[in-house]
Structure 1
Amino acid sequence: MDNLPLILLVFLLAGLAKGIIGLGLPTISIGLLALVMPPAEAASLLLLPSLATNVMQCAGPALRPLLLRLWPMLAALVPGCFAGIGLLTAGGPAALGLLGAALVAYAAWGLVSPPLLLPKRAERLSALPVGLLGGVITGATGVFVMPVVPWLGALGLARDALVQALGLAFLAATVALGLALAWAGAVTPATSLGSLLALPPALLGMAIGTRLRGRIAAALFRRLFFLALLGIGAQLAWRAVS
């Protein structure tokens, strides 16, 4: 695999970000890898690292109540992902442009971080549409953040419960993406091996990031993270139209 050193470095950095702020593995890994390979191949490589790190993140005492509260949104990710997967596997400028736009939108939201709070009725009514749209975007780009992450942030969850809910949503989206990629024939022996080899650096990066979480300014790291995503997304979008 020609890009193996780059793949290992990217997943080390992505795991580090996830350990520090609880997210960032799919966005960093796909955003950087899509600069040198088709987005569908990059999405296939992240499956095992994303599964493993999100199983670790979603474990905890709030798992059962979170599942009972979030299951409509989580279930809707699956059909949405299958609906969007054709755009990702088709490749070409459209896939790059959508990925770039998704990263730019996510980065803009992260930098602004508007204070949102959904009332219970709005939460129930929006769960299915948010899950479906999130699934379509996941299938089309391989990035599972919009609009699920802002929606979870607007539910008024305590910090630890929010981190756990993010892990649960990312885990469900990873499973949905893996099933859709396999259905589309995009999971190959080569990408499966690459995904397996990417697992140790992702776990190592997450462990280091978790240890560093209390020693660095998380707010500053978060801002730098979203600025980097903004630059990566803009570069991908520019390549799609140039």
Structure 2
Amino acid sequence: MNTLLDTLGAGFLWLMELIGLNADLMQRYGLRFIDGVGVTLELVLISVFLGALLALPLAVARVEGGKFLARAAFTYSYFFRGTPLLAQTFLIYYGAGQFREQLTDIGLWWFFRDAFNCAVFTFTLNTAAYQAEILRGGIQTLPAGQMEAALSMGLSRYLAYRKVILPQAIAVGLRPLGNELVLMIKSSAIASVITVYDLMGVTRLAFSRSYDMEVYLWAAVLYLVMVEVVRRVWDVLERRLNRHLTVSR
């Protein structure tokens, strides 16, 4: 990660010099912007990974959970997909402070008093809802015979999902999952409003001290670079994982 950030930082500084931006401003805040990129990537990658772990049982519950579990999973997805991420972030960050004594009693205040942890927690809950719906759609597009064939071979329902259903569902939903990752990168800017010094947090700090709108151009360029890198990596990943589908055509 450090090597990647160093390379990205060198390229960023070179690009800013090439297009003739404020050299003094770049010297003062350039490295802070690179640190902000690191915080943004850490925030997004942790949230998306944990969200994926939570999305798997939610997706299966939506399909196989019966009346109660299916409705509970639907309610979860409905709430987090239907309300603004900004409101969810405020609800977790400022709401946790209303329950400081209770959280202290159960040993969780150390977690919720940190703005970065609150952002990770909120983003995890949010992206899990979207990823669960993507996986649910992938599962439901598969023929029912897939599960029947797995069960007829003696696999348990758990193993059938693990070895047969979920790998295919993930392959089907790979493009939407990539789009969700891109959206999370852009939505991560919300973390700056609760004092997380991610890329947008550093940008706001730099602007408050310099009053130079140029810093927002830097931020836009860096977000664009991150999104483009993810897009290209995801294209390669999708071609490799779905190459059998390409050949079959």
- Please identify the structure whose Cα radius of gyration is greater: 2
TM exceeds 0.5?
no
Please report the TM-score for the alignment, with normalisation by the length of structure 2: 0.30
Please report the TM-score for the alignment, with normalisation by the length of structure 1: 0.31
Larger RCO: Structure 1 or Structure 2 (Cα < 8 Å, ≥ 6 residues apart)?
1
